């Protein structure tokens, strides 16, 4: 796999990122003027980003976006979890480059008025694209701020008209050992699968992302379409989705199947409930620099005002 050196990167690629930041007026943001973003080293010093992707047009903004300093494109695209392409953080960057996410179809099944198999283009066409700058928190106690581009999952669900039997939405990633070499290992049960309650899936914060940094989603981040649920640990954000099912029973997720005592169905970011092997009280912001101390983790990753009501009456220690 050819790794491009800094000298190989067209200056236009670098300029486009700076323009992007200017356009977003992030330069005026104190956190960035302080150097935490522009001076940030990529998560992997030796690696440089792959080619920038096609620009997405007609992308609206959102009130749900955080004003925190966003992570560098290099951080977001070289420090990933995507076990279909390997278990090391730079494996997806290295191994997903040749993955071809087109053409792509999504199957919608289960308890809904409308079901069927759709080309990705037809699946997303009815909805307006929005940029959502979200804080993301991984269960491994690191975090990033990512400018996603996506569509509200609530709109998609409304379109398919689930019946009253639909209590959960279940998602599946592509299963293809030839195109996803990590699936030759039994590290997880394939295909990767995830689920949300209908209330979680229709919460206005939940999106299906098709891009980041104003461009088409890179393969390592889940091209062509992945889930983003910002109040939950990153593993809920299933990548490379090929199937969405409206189901009655709480679906088993890949991480629950792998280690039920460590990863529960809800996976809400909760600094008060430790992972069995480590604390969840603090997090390391990727790209912040070696000497930056860990920062406190916020309940529901700071999104409690929008989602705490979904869990009223639920014991969050038992339902982790
Ligand atoms: N199909 C699939 N989706 C996945 C994963 C995976 O291994 N396979 N890893 C999850 C985990 S643990 C995290 S933290 C996020 C990382 O998303 P990012 O690489 O875009 O930051 O993807 C999630 N989605
Ligand atoms: Mo994760």
Beta-carbon contacts of 161 under 8 Å, excluding residues fewer than 6 positions away, are: 112, 113, 114
Q: What is the mean pLDDT of residues 192-199?
A: 98
Nearest CA to ligand 1 atom 16: 81
Q: For the domain that residue 193 is a member of, what is the CATH number?
A: 3.90.420.10
| Index of the ligand 1 atom closest to the CA of residue 192 | 1
Distance 124 CA to ligand 1 centre (A): 21
Helix then strand count (H, E) for the chain reads: 9, 13
Q: What is the mean pLDDT of the chain?
A: 88
Domain contains 218: yes
Helices (H), the chain: 11-23, 30-33, 73-78, 91-95, 120-124, 153-160, 198-201, 254-258, 304-307
Q: Is the dihedral of CA 78, 79, 81, 86 positive or negative?
A: positive
Mutate to test the pocket of ligand 1, among 76, 81, 177 (most ligand atoms within 8 A of CB): 81
Distance 136 CA to ligand 2 centre (A): 10
Q: Which residues are close to ligand 2, an ion, with C-beta < 5 A? A: 81, 138, 234-235
Distance CA 305, CA 307 (A): 6
CB 242 within 8 A of CB 105: yes
Q: Note the pLDDT tens digit of each residue in 252-300.
A: 999 999 999 999 999 999 999 999 999 999 999 999 988 999 999 999 9
Mutate to test the pocket of ligand 1, among 208, 213, 233, 235 (most ligand atoms within 8 A of CB): 235
Distance 234 CA to ligand 2 centre (A): 4
Ligand nearest to the CA of 194: 1
Q: Note the pLDDT tens digit of each residue in 77-117.
A: 999 999 999 999 999 999 999 999 999 999 999 999 999 99
Both structure tokens of 24: 């977003």
Domain contains 290: no
Domain contains 109: yes
For residue 30, what are the CA distances in angstroms to 12, 33, 34, 38? 26, 5, 6, 12
Domain contains 242: yes
State the residue for tokens 């954000």: 237
Ligand nearest to the CA of 92: 1
Domain count, the chain: 1
Distance 255 CA to ligand 1 centre (A): 11
Residue 20 has pLDDT above 50, yes or no: no
Ligand nearest to the CA of 238: 1
Domain contains 280: no
Domain contains 320: no
CB 84 within 8 A of CB 51: no
Residue 148 has pLDDT above 90, yes or no: yes
HSE-CB for 198 with a 13 A CA cutoff: 18
| Index of the ligand 1 atom closest to the CA of residue 92 | 19
Q: Give me Rg for the CA atoms of the chain.
A: 19
Domain residues for 192?
Answer: 6-263
Q: Note the pLDDT tens digit of each residue in 24-59.
A: 443 333 333 333 333 344 444 445 555 689 999 999
Pairwise pLDDT comparison (2 vs 121), residue with the higher score: 121
Distance 1 CA to ligand 2 centre (A): 25
Ligand nearest to the CA of 141: 2
Domain contains 232: yes
Ligand nearest to the CA of 136: 1
Domain contains 305: no
Which residues have C-beta atoms less than 6 Å from ligand 1?
80-84, 138, 173, 192, 221-222, 234-235, 237-240
Our CA dihedral for 244, 250, 254, 260, rounded to 10 degrees, sits at 170
Beta-carbon contacts of 28 under 8 Å, excluding residues fewer than 6 positions away, are: none
Beta-carbon contacts of 52 under 8 Å, excluding residues fewer than 6 positions away, are: 13, 16, 73, 213, 215
Selection from 42, 147, 53 nearest residue 89 by Cα: 42
DSSP state letters, 189-231: PSSPEEEEEHHHHTSTT-EEEEEETTEEPPGGGTTT-EEE-TT
Both structure tokens of 286: 């990727």
Nearest CA to ligand 1 atom 4: 238
| Confidence (pTM) | 0.87
Selection from 135, 180, 126 nearest residue 158 by Cα: 126
Q: How confident is the model at residue 16 (pLDDT cuts 50, 70, 90)?
A: very low
Mutate to test the pocket of ligand 1, among 239, 255, 262, 285 (most ligand atoms within 8 A of CB): 239
């Amino acid at each position: 796999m050819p790794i491009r050196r800094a000298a190989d990167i067209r200056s236009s690629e670098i300029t486009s990122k700076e323009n992007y930041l200017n356009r977003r007026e992030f330069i005026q943001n104190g956190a960035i003027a302080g150097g935490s973003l522009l001076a940030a080293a990529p998560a992997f010093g030796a690696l440089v980003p792959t080619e920038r992707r096609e620009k997405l047009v007609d992308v609206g903004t959102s009130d749900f976006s955080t004003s925190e300093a966003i992570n560098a494109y290099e951080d977001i695209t070289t420090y990933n979890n995507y076990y279909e392409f390997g278990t090391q953080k730079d494996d997806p960057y290295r191994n997903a480059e040749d993955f071809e996410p087109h053409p792509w179809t999504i199957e919608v099944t289960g308890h809904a008025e409308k079901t069927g198999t759709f080309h990705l283009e037809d699946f997303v066409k009815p909805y307006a694209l929005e940029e959502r700058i979200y804080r993301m928190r991984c269960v491994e106690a690191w975090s990033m701020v990512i400018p996603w581009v996506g569509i509200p999952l609530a709109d998609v669900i409304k379109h398919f008209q689930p019946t009253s039997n639909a209590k959960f939405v279940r998602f599946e990633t592509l299963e293809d050992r030839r195109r996803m070499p990590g699936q030759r290992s039994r590290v997880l049960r394939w295909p990767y699968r995830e689920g949300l309650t209908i209330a979680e899936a229709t919460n206005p914060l939940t999106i299906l992302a098709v891009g980041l940094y104003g461009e088409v989603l890179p393969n390592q981040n889940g091209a062509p379409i992945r889930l983003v649920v910002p109040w939950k640990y990153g593993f809920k954000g299933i990548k490379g989705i090929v199937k969405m099912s409206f189901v009655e029973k709480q679906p088993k997720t890949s991480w629950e199947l792998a280690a039920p005592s460590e990863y529960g169905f809800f996976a809400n970011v909760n600094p008060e409930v430790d992972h069995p092997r480590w604390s969840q009280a603090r997090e390391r912001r990727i790209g912040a620099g070696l000497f930056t101390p860990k920062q406190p983790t916020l309940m529901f990753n700071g999104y409690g005002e929008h989602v705490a009501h979904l869990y009223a009456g639920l014991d969050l220690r038992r339902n982790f």
